[in-house]
């Protein structure tokens, strides 16, 4: 039986072994893209602040400023990643003999790596900043809660400021009756008080919350609220029922307005998400194209002059 001898490939002197990914140009390109985008975005913030004004009917409108800002951010990111990809492609070493057939793909892949590294690092930085902001907000809320606990008057003042539409509706129907014309209030008997506002607010709020959820105020609940208003204010039944109806109508209008605001915010967030995703995809394409262009200029030994000189500055 003939013995087989393993063939060990030898490295030819002067021939560099193939390296699929060259991380030095990738990191340099990612840093270049991040730095250029930061400079451009900072410059854009200055332009945006100069276009706004605190005076009414002065400066650009909010909608126009939002559209221009979005376009500027998109162009800045695409240009920054294109420049970072070009730097990576230009600084990458020449492909080895076994890489020549797919050199174009590898050049573009280095541009993709520039984009990926920048996005990952930017996402980590944004997450860290968001976590720090959330921690600061929690600490601030804890300090405020401690201050409110140690000072009941301050806590009560804060609670009075933090009202909801239902609280406002309760205040409306439990507010004292207006004195009749001609000064007859001096001879009018005071309203009968069946309970404090704190005792009445919870059941009234539950009635309003249930009616908002079902979409209508049940006749039984309406009669109960009208009776409560009559006991608290001394109003006639017709006036008490009218007060309940007005408070419920205002509460429904406030709820509808809140729903419209939430819907507008949802649509704005949806459009923003798609716009950001599209911008990042364009930036990825720009980075890949920039890396391919840089590698092409490297192979052709194309000189790039900065202010008439071969130096970088």
Asked whether 81 and 118 are in contact (CB, 8 A), the reply is yes
Q: What is the pLDDT of residue 158?
A: 41
| Domain assignment of residue 70, yes or no | yes
Indicate the pLDDT class of residue 171, thresholds 50, 70 and 90: low
State pLDDT tens for residues 51-110. 776 666 666 677 888 888 889 999 999 999 999 999 999 888 877 666 667 778 888 899
pLDDT score, position 173 = 67
Q: Is residue 154 a part of any domain in this protein? A: no
Three-state DSSP class for 102? helix
The residue among 307 and 233 whose pLDDT is bigger is: 233
Residues 233 and 285 in one domain: no
Q: Is residue 89 part of a domain?
A: yes
Structural domain containing residue 141? 23-148+272-299
Q: Which of 70-79, 136-145, 197-206, 250-259 has the lowest mean pLDDT?
A: 136-145
pLDDT at 168: 59
Q: What is the pLDDT at residue 280? A: 92
Report the pLDDT value the prediction gives residue 132, as an integer from 0 to 100: 75
Same domain, 42 and 109: yes
In a domain, 187, yes or no: no
Domain boundary among 230, 260, 290: 260
Determine the Cα–Cα distance for residues 255 and 251; give it in Å rounded to an integer.
6
What does DSSP assign to residue 309?
A: B
Q: Return the pLDDT at 287.
A: 94
Inside any domain, residue 267:
no
Which carries the bigger pLDDT value, residue 148 or residue 91? Answer: 91
Q: 225-250 pLDDT, tens per residue? A: 888 888 888 888 888 888 888 888 88
Same-domain status, 101 and 197? no
Instruction: Say if residue 227 is in the same domain as residue 292.
Output: no
| H or E element, residue 268 | helix 237-299
Residues 256 and 276 in one domain: no
Please check whether residue 263 is in contact with residue 56, taking contact to mean a CB–CB distance below 8 angstroms: no
Q: 281 and 144, same structural domain?
A: yes
Q: Are residues 100 and 169 both part of a single domain?
A: no
Separation CA 255–CA 117 (nearest Å): 45
Average pLDDT over residues 141-158: 54
Across residues 103-129, what is the average pLDDT? 87
List pLDDT tens digits, range 182-202.
444 434 444 444 556 677 777
What was the pLDDT predicted at 116?
A: 93
At 263-293, the pLDDT tens digits run 999 998 999 899 999 999 999 999 999 999 9
Q: What is the 3-state secondary structure (H, E, C) of 273-305?
A: HHHHHHHHHHHHHHHHHHHHHHHHHHHCCCCCC
**The pLDDT of residue 100:** 67
Do 110 and 52 share a domain, yes or no? yes
- In the chain, the number of structural domains is 2
**Within this chain, do residues 49 and 117 fall inside the same structural domain, yes or no?**
yes
């Amino acid at each position: 039986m003939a013995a087989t001898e393993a063939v060990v490939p030898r490295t030819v002197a002067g021939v560099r072994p193939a390296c699929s990914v060259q991380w030095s140009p990738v990191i340099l390109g990612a840093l270049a893209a991040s730095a250029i985008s930061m400079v451009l975005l900072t410059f854009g913030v200055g332009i945006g602040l100069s276009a706004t004004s605190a005076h009414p009917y002065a400066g650009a409108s909010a909608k126009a400023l939002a559209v221009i800002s979005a376009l500027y951010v998109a162009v800045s990111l695409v240009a920054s990643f294109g420049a970072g990809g070009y730097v990576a492609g230009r600084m990458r070493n020449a492909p080895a003999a076994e890489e020549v057939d797919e050199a174009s793909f590898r050049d573009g892949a280095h541009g993709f790596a520039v984009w990926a590294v920048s996005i990952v690092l930017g996402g980590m930085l944004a997450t860290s900043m968001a976590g720090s902001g959330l921690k600061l907000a929690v600490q601030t809320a804890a300090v405020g809660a401690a201050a409110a606990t140690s000072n009941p008057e301050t806590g009560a003042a804060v609670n009075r400021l933090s009202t909801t539409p239902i609280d406002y509706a309760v205040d409306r129907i439990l507010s004292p009756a207006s004195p009749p014309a001609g000064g007859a209030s001096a001879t009018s008997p005071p309203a009968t008080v069946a309970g404090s506002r704190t005792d009445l607010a919870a059941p009234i709020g539950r009635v309003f919350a249930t009616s908002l959820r079902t979409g209508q105020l049940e006749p039984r609940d309406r009669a109960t609220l009208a009776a409560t208003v009559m006991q608290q204010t001394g109003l006639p039944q017709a006036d008490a029922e009218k007060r309940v109806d007005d408070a419920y109508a205002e509460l429904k209008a406030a709820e509808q307005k809140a729903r419209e605001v939430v819907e507008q915010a949802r649509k704005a967030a949806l459009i923003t998400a798609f716009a950001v995703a599209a911008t990042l995809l364009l930036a990825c394409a720009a980075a890949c194209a920039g890396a391919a262009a840089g590698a092409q200029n490297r192979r052709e030994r194309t000189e790039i002059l900065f202010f008439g000189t071969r130096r970088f500055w």
